[in-house]
Structures are given as C-alpha cells and as structure tokens.
Amino acid sequence: MRAGLGPAVPPDPGARHRADARTTAAPDLGIGIDVGATKIVLGIVDQGGQVLRRAAIDPWQHPALEDNLANLMDTLDRLLAPYDQERFFDIGVGIPGTVDPSSGVVSYTPNLRWFDLPLGAILAERTGRRVHVIQDTGAAVWGEYLFGAGAGLRNVVCATIGSGLACGIVIDGRLYGGASNTAGEIGHLHVAGSSLVCGCGRRGCVEAGGSGLGLVKVFRRAVADGAVSPVAALPLARQDARAIFKAAKAGDAVCLGAIETMVGYLALGLSAVATVLAPDALILSGGLSRERELLVEPLIERIKAISYHTVCENVQIVPARLGADAPLVGAAFLHRAPEFAGGPASGPAQWSGLARRAAGRWLG
C-alpha cells in the first residue's frame, strides 16, 4: 500500500501561503531522498536541518522497477507541489549500495537488486534539477557533520549500526569515498577466529556478529549449542534484534550474552577505524544506536578499553543527534559538499543526452 504524504515535522505554517503567492525567492530548502531496502523516505529540509515535510513509499510496491521509479517521481512531485519551486536547492539521494557520485549511477544495491541504474539521470530528466547521488552512509555522516554531533568539527566518522554495519567518512571537511567509492565498509573487516557467515558470503566479517542481523546469528548459535531463551520459541521471522533486546531488558541471560558478543565484534571494527583515521569524532548512528544502556554505553567503554591511548584521549565517541533522519538531512544538503559544489555532470542540461541513451528504458 502506498504511504501518503506525512504531516510536516515540524510544521511550516507559512509554506502554503508562500507557495500560493509564487513569489520568486532565493533557495532556502533542501530536497532529500533516503532509499532503504524496505522504505524510501523523501523530505524537505530547512537550512537548520529540520525536516519540514516528508513522504514515505514502499520500494517494492510494484513488480516492475519502472513502476516503482514512477511512483518515486510522482511522490516527489506531490511533496514539492505546495512550495514555490524557486525555494529549492538541488536534490540529494542516499543509496544503500555502491554508487558513482560523479555520474549519479547506482552500480549495485544488494537488497533492492538495482544494477547500473542511472538514477541521477532519471531524476534530473524528470525534475529539471541537479541531482547528487551518494551511498547512504555518506549522506548520514554529512548530515551529522552539518547539523548533528559532528557540527563544528573537521574530521568525522559516522558508523551506521543497523541490519549491517558501515561508516561514512568526512576528512578535512570533505566526504571521502576512496578510489572505488566504497571506503567505510568496516563491516567486512575480518575478525580472527570467527566462523560466523556474513551476508557477503565470507566467514568472520565484523558485520557477521556486529550488526542487527549478526546479533540474531550469535543468538541462534547459542541456542543451537543448548542455551534456553523464550525468544527461541518465537517464529523465526520474529527472532530479530528487537526481540533480543526486549528479552535482554527483562533479564534474559542468553540475550544479554548475545548482545555482549555483538559489542565485542563492533568494538573491534570501530576501534580499527578510529585508530586508522584518528577523527575528531566517531558517531554511533543507525537503528540500534537507540539502545543506549545495553549497546551504546558498553560499546564506548569497550572501544576505549582496546584502543590506542591517543584514540581514548582525542576521539569523541558519541551517539548521533539526528537519529534516523541523518541520511535524509545529509542528502538534502549534498550541494554544500565541496565534491558537489562545482556541480558534477548531474544537472538537467548535462544529463539529458545521457538520460535518453542510458536511461531510456526507465524513462519510457
């Protein structure tokens, strides 16, 4: 079922009046799109990082990709309609997969199964606006760098702890993706002695034990070895990280032990990235970062316990401030990033030819 436009959060009482007046105004609003495996969130964000209006859709609503893309663009049109169109900056998109920011092409998204999709071209052709596309972890760290726990700092790492594990990186005020735009994939660092199978197919990755899905693997291994927990009596689909944390809060020893193991995996990966990059701040974000008492606080202690002393002394290890909105907010202001300020070939004029050639089958 298609989700309708959500209420403004927080409301912007003057938006409708200003839109109806259609007065020409200097740009003051960002447009962000946070693409997830189960939900795509679109939002209008002001220059203080506040989400004024949002919409959410199901990326799998239709069997055909073309129809889902059409749904995305129709929803974007409705989201922007009440506003004076001159108020908007560029469009920014965060993607859970490998992206080429210079071309706006989504190379691969494992959960959505998008391959070589020229999303920047498609959106630019439809909207007539410049479009910036980046990996979602890059969007999240940019949001925290501008408006969240990294505001005022120059070197920031933001770890997204959710179903998987990855980091977005800002070095000296610039987004860093490395030569292949995959920097920050710390979930696939190897943990010696671990035999847990990762979603990538390899054994021993940090993410195999240090993520939401990894927590479930750790729990199920304990149960297979004879541990007894009420969570094991739930249907397999409900034996998830949420159920494990809920049982742990009620005192379940098996779930508490699984979370402790997860903290150990996470600490190894995050200590490594903090030691190698020496950022001003290591920010803990993602859905599981809401679990402060059982996860975030023990994780910070564990990172400091195993890290080089300069990490303990100089790196701030802090929870994110923007929460789940970090990728949406960061995407909305990608035009502020030095990498995009000059305008890669993502504007409608530059994209039109490419869109007709490479994205013709998507645009119809």
Predicted pLDDT of residue 272: 95
Q: Can you tell me the distance from the alpha carbon of 25 to that of 306, in angstroms, rounded to the nearest whole number?
A: 53
Please choose, from the candidates 45, 43, 15, 48, the residue with its C-alpha nearest in 3D space to the C-alpha of residue 30: 45
Among 18-22, 40-44, 186-190, 226-230, which stretch is predicted with the lowest mean pLDDT?
Answer: 18-22
pLDDT computed for residue 5 by the predictor? 39
Q: What confidence score (pLDDT) does residue 205 get?
A: 94
**Are 282 and 273 in contact, with CB atoms under 8 Å apart?**
yes
Question: pLDDT-based confidence at 352, cuts 50/70/90?
Answer: very low
Q: Is residue 36 part of a domain?
A: yes
Q: Which residue has the tokens 């490998």?
A: 98
Instruction: Read off the pLDDT band of 347 (50, 70, 90).
Output: low
pLDDT exceeds 70 at position 163: yes
Residue 342: band (very low, low, confident or very high) from pLDDT cuts 50, 70, 90: low
Element (H, E) at 132: strand 131-135
Is there a single domain that holds both residue 246 and residue 337?
no
Q: How far apart are the first and last CA of the chain?
A: 24
Question: Is 23 inside a domain boundary?
Answer: yes
Q: State whether 119 and 255 are in the same domain.
A: no
Same domain, 331 and 350: yes
The per-residue pLDDT for 37 is 80
Residue 306 pLDDT grade (very low, low, confident, very high; cuts 50, 70, 90): very high
Question: Residue 7: inside a domain, yes or no?
Answer: no
Answer yes or no: do 262 and 337 share one domain.
no
Chain centroid to CA 338: how far? 20
Dist CA 263 CA 257 (whole Å): 10
Tell me the pLDDT tens digit for each residue of 280-296: 999 999 889 999 999 99
Q: Are residues 35 and 67 in the same domain?
A: yes
Contacts of 264 (CB under 8 A, 6+ apart): 209, 210, 302
Task: Quote the CA–CA distance of 248 and 261 in Å, as a whole number.
Answer: 13
| Whether residue 233 is found in the same domain as residue 189 | yes
Report the distance separating Cα 63 and Cα 323, nearest Å.
31
Same domain, 84 and 105: yes
Contact residues for 299 (Cβ-Cβ < 8 A; gap 6+): 263, 266, 267, 270, 284
At CA 303, angle to CA 299 and CA 305, rounded to 5? 115
Task: List all residues 6 or more positions away from 233 whose beta carbon is below 8 Å from its beta carbon.
Answer: none
Nearest Cα neighbor of 141 from 240, 282, 19, 252 is 282
The answer on 315 and 179 residing in a single domain is yes
pLDDT at 340: 82
Query: Mapping DSSP to helix (H, G, I), strand (E, B) and coil, where does residue 42 land?
Result: strand
What pLDDT does 336 receive? 94
Asked if the structure places residue 5 within a domain, the reply is: no
Longest dimension (CA), the chain: 69
183 with 279, same domain: the answer is yes
For the chain, what is the mean pLDDT?
87
CATH number at residue 204: 3.30.420.40
Q: Tell me, yes or no, whether 38 and 105 share the same domain.
A: yes
β-pairing, 40-46 with 51-57?
antiparallel
- Write out the two tokens for 91: 């469009």
Helices (H), the chain: 15-21, 65-80, 119-127, 136-147, 212-224, 241-249, 253-277, 297-306, 309-314, 326-332, 338-341, 348-358, 360-363
User: Is the residue at 143 inside a domain?
Assistant: no
| Range in 11-20, 94-103, 281-290 with the lowest mean pLDDT | 11-20
Q: How confident is the model at residue 182 (pLDDT cuts 50, 70, 90)?
A: confident
Whether residues 108 and 222 share a domain: the answer is no
Q: Is residue 192 part of a domain?
A: yes
| Average pLDDT estimate for 27-44 | 93
Joined together, the tokens standing for residue 238 give 């409900």
Which residue range forms the structural domain that includes residue 38?
15-137+326-363
Q: Of 17-31, 49-63, 69-83, 140-154, where does mean pLDDT reach its minimum? A: 17-31
Please state the domain count of the chain. Answer: 2
Shared domain check, 126 and 173: no
